[in-house]
Structure 1
Amino acid sequence: MSRLYDTVEPSVIDDEMLKKAVEDQGPKEEAGKIAKQEGLDYSDVLSLRLDFRNVLKIDNLWQFVKLTKLQLDNNIIEKIEGLDALVNLRWLDLSFNNIEIIEGLENLTKLEDLTLFNNRISRLENMDALPLLHVLSVGNNKIDQLENLIYLRRFEDLRTMNLTGNPVCDDPAYKLFTVAYLSHLVYLDFRLIDEETRNKAHSLYENKLGELMHNEKQAKVEQDNQRKIETEKQKHVDAYVENLDDDFLFVALYKEDPEGKKLEMLPGIQDMLKEFKDKFLDVCHKIFEYGIQEYDKRTHELEEFYGCVEDAKNDNKAAGTKYIDEFELYKKKLFMDLLSSSDPTFIEDKVTEYHSKVNKLWDVIMGLEMQLVDQLEETIKDFERNLTDLMSLFVESVQGLITQLRDLENSHNEKLLETCMLVLEKVVKNELDEELPEDLRMLFVDKDTIVNAIGASHDVHLVKIDNREDEIVTRSGGWISALMKKIHTTECSRNRTRVVEILNYIDHIRDEIDTLDMPEAIRT
């Protein structure tokens, strides 16, 4: 069923193999010449063929981050691995290998076409991360369970599937079962599914499908709800106010506060504690609501910025394209005139004129690029200033609210100290109405002990509040730094790429007239 190991030693996907594959599949003639001069950049490669190379292990593909099509068919691969970096892959061919388990596809969320024809696969599994799967070819494998095909119902975009050559195809119920349970299929085993087959399959499995669809609907509702919860949680994290919409921070005050827990057992302390908690949570909710509000403002600012950048790039590109199109029309007519002329003076004048126009075009499109650089630099500065102001206001306001939390803690601590002093007085005079638990009584042996216990509890609470404040300040500042670094890096990369494009184009059009098929005597 699968390929046997050749007598040739298994190959390794190394830089030499990758370089040769990219060069063989790369642009030819002038474009190929330019590509070789610049060197190979694997991160720009969109398609890669590594078929018929006796490859045993998938490796060293991490640089091909823009790859959309990968052919690894007709090798001796035993395991699907090494594909994690290929997040833009849409087409993957692993047919005619020795693969036994479908795995290693977790990061290929954009994959649309997967071919695993002629391997050793016995089960359809581990493809949950492929929501866009449109074509699946798993013919000539070892799949033998009809029930396993139900797994494919999750792929709502799946339209074409091939299972020919699997033991499951020998089951008399195979075709109708598959059509019934995978109703979104259009082609099965290279044949269009006709309406008669669909109706027959639906009629035969209607009852079982009804129950399954009901269960799937419930599961989908639960998944959607869970997804919404996770999305909302992530928003809270990005707003730096996670867990401030509940009692998490208040509970944290006492989590590592053994003395505070003991003092909670004091008679009559519960009302005081409840008042403290209610006021504390009220301020926490204010921080939370304000944080979400400011997050929405920052998100809007980001969208506005990226929109402005995109508009500026598009306008600049349109202006440059206009000049290039005009030049290309001029060049086409000029070359026709040159090829049809035998007048040396005319040709010499026109060649001089051509080079002059090339220089002017260079000045114009480079000028446009410099103009765009200045424009984007100013836009980025304005954006950074606005974002910094927004974040500074956010941090300042949150610090003010956190100060209120400290004030509440200080006030509660003072009340607690007063209460404990009264209790200590009664303990000393043996006038306490209720018997204290042993752990609590040990705190009231003398004034220093109870004061130290209350002080220790107070310190723990203040540290927790301070830590939360520090976390918000640090994370918010770190986010701005990382974001601006990314924006500047992206713009520098764009500018470098554009300048190289312009240089290559200008060199190309200069070379074109030099290689024009004019009489040798005239050209020299």
Structure 2
Amino acid sequence: MLNRNEMAALSIHDGLDQGDDKDDEPTVINYTCLINLITQQAPRGEAGRLYHEDGIKLNEIKEIRVEFLRILKIDHLWIMTNLVKLSLSHNKIEKIENLDALVKLCELDISFNSIKIMENLNCLSKLEILLLAGNQVETVEGIGNLTNLTIFSIANNKIQGWEHVLYLRQFKNLRSVNFTGNPCTLQENYNDYLIAFLPQIIYFSYSMIREEDRIKAMKIHRRSIAKIELDEAKSQSTLEEEHALNKKSAIDSAAFVDHLDGDEMFLLLFLNDKEGTALKNISDDTLAVFNEYKTNFSTVCHEFYQFGIEQHSLREKEIEMFSAIVEEARDAVRDKARRIIDSIEKYKNENFAKFNVGIKEFDKKLDAESAVDQTDLPIDVKIAKIQNITENFNEFLSSIWTKLVYSEAVLHEQIEDVNETFKLNIADMKDIFVESTRKSFSRMRNILVEYHDTIQRVIASHLNDFTQDELTMPSQLIDICGDINILSNTLASSHDIHLQIIDSREDETISSVNKWFNDLVTRLRKHENSRHRHRILEISHVLQYYRELLQKHILTTNDEALDVVAALEG
């Protein structure tokens, strides 16, 4: 924040014009440039006087025009986080950049520059008006996130193709576009094409589109429009399905049960088990055994999946409840601290007023023999009065520091207690999930053993039929079950593959949930310790600010203040 004295010290030409001999020299947006522009664009009259006396707060400015300044590079705008309207027109800007912090920006005018590429604009999600006329842009791109876009002007650029028309269909709030002066507008039927394929547009080149022109254009392109709408409907349906799948996948992963809903886990058992896959097709009986294995195994997986999702929901509710309790406690302390800080402001104003009176005259409440003009008194009398006010103010600040630090210390202890209770609750939930994991995977292993025994018995019986009938076994089966020993080895290998996958997934699940728990507890502890240290430091900085404010006030009150302070320091 700059006060009026600091603003007066700034040269009006710093960061702007540097003299007639440098009229063609490009410059950049810098801090001084912004201050000068804000000073020039501030309100006039009494409103302007109050505005300057309050001091310029860059983070509170909502509108600024940086025009006709030969700006080459955009910079320093990150300071102005509350900016709503920004004009950078008529400069020499070649690249759109450094706008990420302007998350509240609704209107951006960057016309008449040297921009070739539309980039770094997707961060401006609240943008409603985008003006890019008079540049060198060839492709409309890089604004897919600007869903609030209402007015878009890109006249007098170098756009030749018509791809931008279909690109702009996604902006459902778009009402006005201007492509005048681009090569594409000189091509036959361009206007009809744009009007037909952008039904949301009301104004084209700032002229209202007549209804008869819209109907005519849509008749010309009715078949193409129907195809586009069908493709968009399919695409939208696909996107919704993908979104739903992605959402489900994210929840499943957070619940540590991903790929356990359905047959995915079972199919994974046979992914690299070619011999085991071949065994199931020996006969109808082996296929029946396989299908029973699949049903029983997948049932256990699905039951564990449902349990995991339910447990995840319970954990999320516990976390939400914990967060609400902690935030409520923090809000209460913040409100109390805010009231205390307000009391500092009140005390400061009262004592600064007393200080001013102390410099000019004695307090009128003194007895009659002391009631004389303070300006005629010796310097030591003034020093004593200033010392008294300063000491009282510092004592008051010390008491405030004690109150704020005490409140923060109590809050810190309370949050640590809540953290410990939360840790125990989440630990119980985690242990319940781990126990269920072990039980479910134990069931999977039992089903595997049962399958191994059953399929071996069925295949052995089938081999016996071959021997009795003196038939020749198919060649593809000889290598995996030509006799009882080969069959036993094949089944043992298949069993080991399945068992390894089941054991590995069990270990991975338990390891993941334990890691999540440890990371959560560690993160909460670190966050609270960091917040607590930062808050203590913040309290100290605020009170130091008020102490420095008093010293500055002493320095700037009147002509004798320097002598008084010098005497105090001596």
Partner of 1:339: 356
Residues 430, 513 of structure 2: 8 Å contact kept: yes
Which of 399, 404, 420 is 2:459 aligned to? 420
* Cα gap change, 1:222 to 1:446, in 2 (>3 Å): closer
Identity of aligned pairs, percent? 26
- Tell me whether 1:483 sits opposite 2:520 in the alignment: yes
RMSD: 4.5
Question: For structure 1, which segment, 224-233 or 156-165, has the greater mean C-alpha deviation from structure 2 after superposition?
Answer: 156-165
Matched, 1:388 2:427: yes
Correspondences of 1:439-454 after superposition (within 5 Å): 439-454=476-491
- Classify the secondary structure of the residue corresponding to 2:321: helix
Query: Which one of the candidate residues 224, 240, 243 is aligned to 2:256?
Result: 240
Amino acid of the residue matched to residue 479 of structure 1? W
Matches within 5 A, 1:392-407: 392-407=431-446
1:465 is the counterpart of 2:502: yes
Q: Distance in 2 between matches of 1:87 and 1:388?
A: 42
| Distance in 2 separating the partners of 1:162 and 1:334 | 60
Query: One-letter code of the match for 1:372?
Result: L
Amino acid at match of 1:120: Q
1:514 aligns to what? Answer: 551
CA contact 1:115–1:136 (8 Å) conserved in 2: yes
Tell me whether 1:353 sits opposite 2:392 in the alignment: yes
Any idea what SS the aligned residue of 1:515 has?
Answer: helix
Whether the aligned pair in 2 keeps the contact of 1:180 and 1:201 (CA below 8 Å) is: no
Q: Quote the Cα distance in structure 2 between the aligned partners of 1:249 and 1:504.
A: 58
Separation of aligned partners in 1, 2:472 and 2:32: 88
**Quick one: structure 1 residues 105 and 298, their matched pair in 2 at CA, closer, same or farther if it must change by over 3 Å?**
farther
Tell me if the contact between 2:94 and 2:113 (Cα under 8 Å) persists in the aligned partners: yes
Q: What secondary structure does 2:157 align onto? A: coil
Aligned to 1:242, what secondary structure does the other structure show?
Answer: coil
Task: Check 1:71–1:459 CA distance in 2 against 1; reply closer, same or farther (3 A cut).
Answer: farther
Q: Distance in 2 between matches of 1:188 and 1:312?
A: 54
Residue 230 of structure 1 deviates from its aligned partner by 2.2
- Cα deviation, residue 121, structure 1: 1.8
Which residue, 140, 144, 147 being the options, matches 1:128?
144
Indicate yes or no: 2:346 matched with 1:329: yes
Tell whether 2:273 aligns with 1:257. Answer: yes
**Residue 286 of structure 1 pairs with residue 286 of structure 2:** no
Q: Does 1:374 align with 2:413?
A: yes
Q: Which residue of 1 aligns with 2:319?
A: 302
What residue identity is the alignment partner of 1:271? A
CA pair 444-351 structure 1, distance change in 2 beyond 3 A:
closer
The TM-score, its normalising length taken from structure 2, stands at 0.71
Structure 2 segments unaligned to the other structure (5+ residues):
1-21, 40-51, 59-63, 363-381
Return closer, same or farther for 1:376/1:75 CA change in 2, 3 Å cut-off.
farther
1:143 is displaced (CA, Å) by 2.2
Greater mean alpha carbon deviation, residues 64-73 or residues 139-148: 64-73
1:41 corresponds to: none
CA distance, structure 1, for counterparts of residue 124 and residue 482 of structure 2? 67
In structure 2, do the counterparts of structure 1 residues 225 and 417 end up closer, same or farther at CA, with 3 Å as the change threshold? closer
Distance 1:156 1:95 in 2: 24
**For 1:160 and 1:287, how far apart are their aligned partners in 2?**
55
Task: Figure out how many residues of one structure are paired with residues of the other and give that number.
Answer: 488
Q: Cα gap change, 1:365/1:455 in structure 2, threshold over 3 Å: closer, same or farther?
A: same
Paired residue secondary structure (2:495):
helix
Give the counterpart letter for 1:299 in structure 2.
E
Greater relative contact order (CA < 8 Å, ≥ 6 in sequence): 1
**Residues 249-300 of structure 1 deviation map (CA, whole Å, 9 limit, x = unaligned):** 1111111112212211222211211211111111111011111111111222
Matched, 1:362 2:401: yes
- What does residue 493 of structure 2 align with? 456
2:133 and 2:512 mapped to 1: Cα distance?
49
SS of the residue aligned with 2:337? helix
Matched, 1:156 2:195: no
> Partners in 2 of 1:360 and 1:162 — Cα distance?
63
Q: Which has the larger radius of gyration?
A: 2
- Go from structure 1 to structure 2 and tell me whether the alpha carbon gap of 1:468 and 1:366 turns closer, same or farther (over 3 Å shift): same
TM-score, normalised by the number of residues in structure 1? 0.77
Would the alpha carbon gap of residues 271 and 157 (structure 1) be closer, same or farther in structure 2, given more than 3 Å must change? same
1:40 aligned partner:
none
Check 1:373–1:187 CA distance in 2 against 1; reply closer, same or farther (3 A cut): farther
Separation (CA, whole Å) in 1 of partners of 2:120 and 2:403:
49
SS at match of 2:261: coil
Displacement, 1:8? 10
